[in-house]
Structure 1
Amino acid sequence: MTPQELKASILQLAIQGKLVEQRPEEGTGEELYKQIQAEKQKLIKAGKIKKGKPLPEITENEIPFDIPESWKWVRVAQIVTLNPKNDIDNNIDTSFVPMSCVSDGFRNTHTFEVKKWGAIKKGFTHFANGDIGIAKITPCFQNRKSVVFRDLINGYGAGTTELSIVRVINNTVLREYLLWFFKTEYFIANGVKSFTGTAGQQRIHKDYLATSLLPLPHLAEQKRIVAKLEEILPLCEKLKQC
């Protein structure tokens, strides 16, 4: 097994609840889901986010694998906002991120160019510090070009239109947990099945990200999962030296 294959296997264990122990005292995915919905409603009433279109109910036939009883299956768009827009001054310096600046594989890094907001606000994808960017075009999608944006100039940026953007609602979900989910073989393989477009220009279906099923543990367990992944994934590279 190659280091990449081992990393993929570890991520699959993580999203099935098999990487760390469950602790009942930490709460449940259902409780976290209700908290997120309450936060969303506050933001909708305040006019800070828009009410999303209704999502289909999750059926038993859709469930791809077993998860712990304390977890909850959700659709991605139920717990985050997608593709938000920035509203900032045109003369502010911001970060510009073409696809070439987003690392692939199981990394979480990016670089950027510095540009005035007025020069990049139209015709590009908007994001801010803490947002997650996910490539939606082949082969970047299969190559796991996805990242949590950090240290953007003045906290804002724009980039290639071939990125989908996920924004967490008031820190209710751990960004790194979502990022690792987006790098799983489960998410990638199903995204490839949804591809539309002509050869060489294929992209995930426009509704794939929003409707994807995500296993949601409580926030405390998300933190323990991410800590464990950050501990053991780097060790996989040592296989190359064996």
Structure 2
Amino acid sequence: MIAAQLLTHFDRLADAPDAIPRLRRFILDLAVRGRLVPQDPNDEPASELLKRIAAEKKRMVEAGKVRKPKMIILVNETEIPFMLPTNWRWSQIAEIGLLSPRNETTDDTLASFVPMPMIAADYGEASNHEVRRWGDIKGGYTHFAEGDVGLAKITPCFQNGKSTVFRDLTGGVGSGTTELHVVRPLFVNPNFVLLFLKCPYFIETGIPIMTGTAGQKRVPTEYFAYSPFPLPPLAEQHRIVAKADELMALCDRLEATQAERETTRNRMATASLARLNAPDPDPATFQIHIAFAFNNFTPLTT
């Protein structure tokens, strides 16, 4: 089912039990499989994008801005979880960005501090931050900057989908909980990376390989950095993110409508019960109230 078909049946699908959370997961799944928007043969293929990323990393290493990254091992065909469109490529988070980046700024710089409770679980929900002096938060915490992508690596935050693109950071830099994996994408839309980190495939595949004791299990760096990552052409990444945002906004509106409908239903049920518990002295009116409650029993109670 492509996005157009999904939109056609959106309202009807949303009435099913637990529908909207399942719709959100379905949208994420379509996004990373190349089924949310049509492919454009005129897009620069992902293979060329990977060449530009590699060239930029080489330039940064030669300029002394970053250390030489670990050698990337190509994704083995046996590791490929699903088929991709022809102009996509299987890659890895480590290949498309810089892992665990560090910030350099003065101690008096005002920056953002992000503890785990401020990291959003739902796609489209912005994370919050506190404003602190960089000198107070630069040590002992995970660094990130504007546009970086962070993944909560500890249970139950990983299972709950806690991940974020760091936006609107004070001073453009920040630090936060040590329970984060962070990547700084190069020439890749950070929100597409976020779609992948929140998609059911990535989370469900990662849960069994978490390490540690119960209640303190963590996603290994190797899983975050070197798992197969479906890379679309950059132009398609932008289209996917725009369509995902559109559909998630529809989900938001449907949730609001459902909540309003639920509130109205509860008020009607309460009013009907009140009329039955305190009958109208007029027998004819009381009979009308009984008939209303009887005829609407299912919609009032389900």
Query: Which TM-score tier does this pair reach, normalised by the shorter chain?
Result: over 0.9
Q: Identify the residue that residue 114 of structure 2 maps to in structure 1.
A: 97
Q: Does 1:182 align with 2:197?
A: yes
Instruction: Give the deviation of 1:239 after TM superposition.
Output: 4.5
Distance between the aligned counterparts of 1:181 and 1:123, measured in 2?
28
Distance between the aligned counterparts of 2:145 and 2:221, measured in 1?
22
Q: Which amino acid aligns with 1:133?
A: G
Q: Identify the residue that residue 195 of structure 1 maps to in structure 2.
A: 210
Instruction: Give the deviation of 1:107 after TM superposition.
Output: 3.2
Q: Does 1:43 align with 2:66?
A: no
Instruction: Give the deviation of 1:12 after TM superposition.
Output: 0.9
How far does the alpha carbon of each residue in 1:122-145 deviate from its partner, in whole angstroms, 9 at most, with x for none? 110011111111100011111111
Q: Identify the residue that residue 143 of structure 1 maps to in structure 2.
A: 160
- 1:43-122 mapped onto 2 (5 Å cutoff): 43-122=60-139
Distance between the aligned counterparts of 1:168 and 1:206, measured in 2?
16
- How many residue pairs get aligned? The number is 240
Distance between the aligned counterparts of 1:191 and 1:181, measured in 2?
12
Runs of 5+ consecutive residues of structure 2 not aligned to the other structure = 1-17, 262-302
Distance between the aligned counterparts of 2:47 and 2:73, measured in 1?
18
Instruction: Give the deviation of 1:13 after TM superposition.
Output: 1.1
State TM-score, norm by structure 1. 0.95
Runs of 5+ consecutive residues of structure 1 not aligned to the other structure = none
CA contact (8 A) 2:124 2:248 kept: no
RMSD: 1.3
Q: Which amino acid aligns with 1:216?
A: L
| Structure label with greater radius of gyration | 2
Q: Which amino acid aligns with 2:220?
A: H
- Which is richer in helix? 2
State TM-score, norm by structure 2. 0.77
CA contact (8 A) 2:74 2:91 kept: no
Q: Secondary structure at the match of 1:107?
A: coil
- Which is richer in strand? 1
**% of aligned pairs identical?**
47
Distance between the aligned counterparts of 2:57 and 2:73, measured in 1?
18
Higher relative contact order (CA 8 A, sep 6+): 1
Q: Does 1:127 align with 2:144?
A: yes
Q: Secondary structure at the match of 1:30?
A: helix
CA contact (8 A) 1:2 1:239 kept: no
Instruction: Give the deviation of 1:238 after TM superposition.
Output: 4.5
Q: Secondary structure at the match of 1:24?
A: coil
Structure 1 runs of 4+ with >4 Å offset = none
Q: Does 1:225 align with 2:240?
A: yes
